[in-house]
Structure 1
Amino acid sequence: MTLTPEDISHSLLDAARKAGADAADAIVIDGSSVSVEVRGGTLEHAERSEGTDLGLRVFLGQRQAIVSSSDSRPETLIAMAERAVAMAREAPEDPFTGLADTAQLAKDWDLPALELFDPTPEPAAEDLLRNALAAEAAGLAVQGVSQVSDAAAGYGTHRVHLAATNGFSGGYARSSRSTSCVAISGEGTGMERDYDGDSRTFQNDLRSPEEIGRTAGERAVALVGARKPATGTFPVLFDERISSSLIGHLMGASNGAAIARGASWLKDCLGEQVLPEHLSLIENPHRPRISGSRPFDAEGLATQQRAIVDNGVLTGWTLDLSSARKLDMTSTGNAARGVSGPPSPSNWNLSLTQGTHSREDLLRDMGTGLLVTSMIGSTINPNTGDYSRGASGFWVENGEITHPVNECTIAGNLRDMLKRIIPANDARPYLSRVVPSVLIEGMTLAGN
């Protein structure tokens, strides 16, 4: 008889109790995936994987230990529990570790409303191959594209179940469907590359492979003839494709683990303005069909919608149980974990207030500056917020794009940058991070 993730998780808890654990939790992830890649009109690589991963965390007083495996045989579960308990005996005490109190646990959730799993049958490998070939052909059909370095299509599912000796037991299943294309334009040292891709929970929501391939090709061709921009202080418009990275830096600095360590440029900013006063940043883990949605976190606490930034003011940290205890606060239900490590704070779906103007309006109003469409590398000082990243994109003169640029660096300080952002209205509502293009005045640009 095949054991379900729920069966395995409860068997792990039983084994942990018998091995002498005071408390324990178990997470089991069961998944499968299939992907194809094509090149030159033929199949280049196909892969299918299936597997079950399990993790057990045990507690002896204030000591904890974690073990993981991909083997769910009964004798393995017993050995895992015995090994974990032995490890916990040697572990140092941690006054902030431990399971949630029963009163904190999620009790009821409306899993169907989240629409995390597409009931449509798994696509045949031939269908994935057809989509990858269609994306490649569409990319190659764009005048100026010299080759498509990669076109791929994939499908995957996974089931997760979390159980703990405090009485929590819950699980859910996810599905994903994706298509991508990477196109190259130009020749020799003048070659440029760009991409497009889409990943959705439901197959019917996925953009067509023809659109994805064509967009990748057009983006690559637009970069031909790129050169370094001028050095100086200019407005920078972060394209919608990469603007969410700015919000990612804000979330990293407001992560409870960083705050508890004192290693954050936001550590003294709770209740203070961090964005323009008309902007809010909303976390909503209950959006249907979105990859970041979930009914409960990795410690069994109910997830919740909250305004992380409300009208420009930072309202709270992102907390799991451990970081909340260190800060003498309450968990925000944001614990995430894999099978081989303890929970840590993580954000779910985020949405930044959109602006009233289009990206074209912001381009026109910025005058002369840089439109960034791609970034590489990252130098962020976590204590000061000093920011420096390699960038490429397009130069703007008198509100109009004149030519592509590359090999430049943009720099500033995140604390100041985020207070000056001007959002456009072009965010894609189906992403987990719904962030529009963002204009920031007065950034330092290093080019020629």
Structure 2
Amino acid sequence: MSEPTIKATLSDAVDQVLSLVKQQGAQADVIANASESLSLKADQGDLSEHKVTAGQVIGVRVIKGDQVATSYSESLDSDSLASMVNAALTNASFTKADPDQQIRAEGQHIDQQDPSLLQADNTPIEDKIALALALEQDVISQPRATGAPYNGYSEQTQFQLLANTLGTRCYHSERRFSCYTAALLNHDGKQAMHLGASVSRRFADLDLAHATQLAYQTADALLEGGPVKTGSYSVIFEHDCLSELLGAFGSCFSGDAAKRGTNPWREKVGKPVADTALTITDVARLDGGMRIKAFDSEGFATADTPLIEDGVLVGFLHNSATAQHFGVPHTANAGRSPKGGLDVTSRHDVIAAGQHSDADVHAGEYLELVSLQGVHSGANAISGDFSFGASGFVCREGKRVRPVRGITVAGNFYTMLNEIDAIGNTVLPNYDGAFFAPRIRFARLSIAGE
């Protein structure tokens, strides 16, 4: 279907839901999504998957008095919508009162017509299949590659309409493309594997060469790796690893976690929590960002949210309910899917550039970690303690000296933020355009090796 047709279909469904809710004397907001996707996977020179899917889902959050509940439907017919509303209202009558949750985005009208987010795609399917097959072929053609077990291409087009009983109506559409491959090397009883990927807004901008070279070259470089001596080391995390680590402790920026009492920084707003060189901001829109959206999941216009400035905790990510609870302004960081309840979410995590040159960051000897294993299972977001497997390289003056595998890196995340040796002066994105940061050298982490 064309975008105008999809938009009209979603609009009709949303209008029906809001009308039914009003008839019951309740308030509500509604999120309706429609999506189209293509997934291709390659294995041993052939396509192992060619999946085309399309669907829609609509979800309602109803509030009657101080009682709140959600419900959703994957059908947009009138009977299904009525059943969804009735289920939400019935469920609300059994929930505990939550006076902080109210419908507050009044009269917001945001229609995000951004051609950079939804670019036309006339690429023949044959070209997309050829790319999926080429991912595998480019890896296994390398001299020491013994396989490429994971190879895929995907694309997704998504349309979303959000509206509420206070007259808010917001619309968003976007398209994204991605590809990935894994290089496997197996020689003399040693095995190494690494993943490479590329994400973009246009098919033509997918960087197949970067994905395959990153996968193969990293796996090849790590193959002969072994543990280092147990001790304390200066560490630089590769961007995707640093993003993964930050994500494991993301609740320290969550107003919802603070409200539930599980945010260890709940009482630290306005106080130092990190090295004075560290500044972190949740940014709504920036070049290369893949989480751009003009409104949050309540319908408020998104904006940048400072989190840490010069080492001081400025505040948390808030939706209107957590903001009401703490008596602070909301930050338009509401997160909710059609199938879920109200939460908070970030857009783009951006660590500001520091004052150190590349030579300063990479001076002397340090460990560069390029792969982490079991991050979330090995992290305690409340205490800050973490311990997980890692692979990387011993580096000296910016040069990789030898590969390192079979080690465990351990420390405390909140302590680590206060023990920074250097922050580089160039900000770069991670692979999926959600995390932007300079190179950061942490002074000391415990490494368990040999």
TM-score normalised according to structure 2 size: 0.91
> What CA deviation, in whole Å up to 9, does each residue of 1:54-99 have, x standing for no partner?
1012121111121111111111111211222222222221121211
Among 370, 373, 386, the residue aligned to 1:373: 370
Rounded Cα–Cα distance in structure 2 between residues aligned with 1:73 and 1:398: 64
> What CA deviation, in whole Å up to 9, does each residue of 1:247-302 have, x standing for no partner?
33553212011111222222222112233323322222123563211111001111
User: Corresponding residue for 1:431?
Assistant: 433
AA matched with 1:244: S
User: Corresponding residue for 1:304?
Assistant: 303
Rounded Cα–Cα distance in structure 2 between residues aligned with 1:190 and 1:312: 43
Contact 2:253–2:307 (CA under 8 A) maintained in structure 1: no
User: Corresponding residue for 1:190?
Assistant: 190
TM-score normalised according to structure 1 size: 0.92
Query: Do the aligned partners of residues 352 and 51 (structure 1) sit closer, same or farther apart at CA in structure 2, a change above 3 Å counting?
Result: same
Among 95, 100, 110, the residue aligned to 2:99: 95
Contact 2:32–2:58 (CA under 8 A) maintained in structure 1: yes
User: Corresponding residue for 1:11?
Assistant: 16
AA matched with 1:6: S
SS of structure 2 residue aligned to 1:186: strand
Rounded Cα–Cα distance in structure 2 between residues aligned with 1:97 and 1:399: 51
User: Corresponding residue for 1:73?
Assistant: 77
User: Corresponding residue for 2:446?
Assistant: 444
User: Corresponding residue for 2:147?
Assistant: 147
Rounded Cα–Cα distance in structure 2 between residues aligned with 1:220 and 1:8: 50
> What CA deviation, in whole Å up to 9, does each residue of 1:229-261 have, x standing for no partner?
211111111112312234335532120111112
Contact 1:33–1:50 (CA under 8 A) maintained in structure 2: yes
Contact 2:352–2:427 (CA under 8 A) maintained in structure 1: no
Unaligned 5+ runs, structure 1:
none
> Does the alignment pair 1:319 with 2:318?
yes
1:9-88 superposed matches below 5 A = 9-18=14-23, 20-88=24-92
Contact 1:256–1:319 (CA under 8 A) maintained in structure 2: yes
Rounded Cα–Cα distance in structure 1 between residues aligned with 2:110 and 2:339: 27
User: Corresponding residue for 2:247?
Assistant: 248
Rounded Cα–Cα distance in structure 1 between residues aligned with 2:127 and 2:404: 38
Contact 1:21–1:60 (CA under 8 A) maintained in structure 2: yes
Contact 2:272–2:313 (CA under 8 A) maintained in structure 1: yes
Give the fraction of aligned pairs with identical amino acids, expressed as a percent.
Answer: 23
> What CA deviation, in whole Å up to 9, does each residue of 1:28-73 have, x standing for no partner?
1100100111122211111111100110121211111211111111
Contact 1:24–1:56 (CA under 8 A) maintained in structure 2: yes
Rounded Cα–Cα distance in structure 1 between residues aligned with 2:398 and 2:275: 24
> Does the alignment pair 1:211 with 2:213?
no
SS of structure 2 residue aligned to 1:419: coil
Query: Do the aligned partners of residues 313 and 156 (structure 1) sit closer, same or farther apart at CA in structure 2, a change above 3 Å counting?
Result: same
SS of structure 1 residue aligned to 2:16: helix
Task: Please report the RMSD computed on the Cα atoms of aligned residues, expressed in angstroms.
Answer: 2.2
User: Corresponding residue for 1:349?
Assistant: 348
Rounded Cα–Cα distance in structure 2 between residues aligned with 1:343 and 1:116: 25
AA matched with 1:164: N
User: Corresponding residue for 2:336?
Assistant: 337
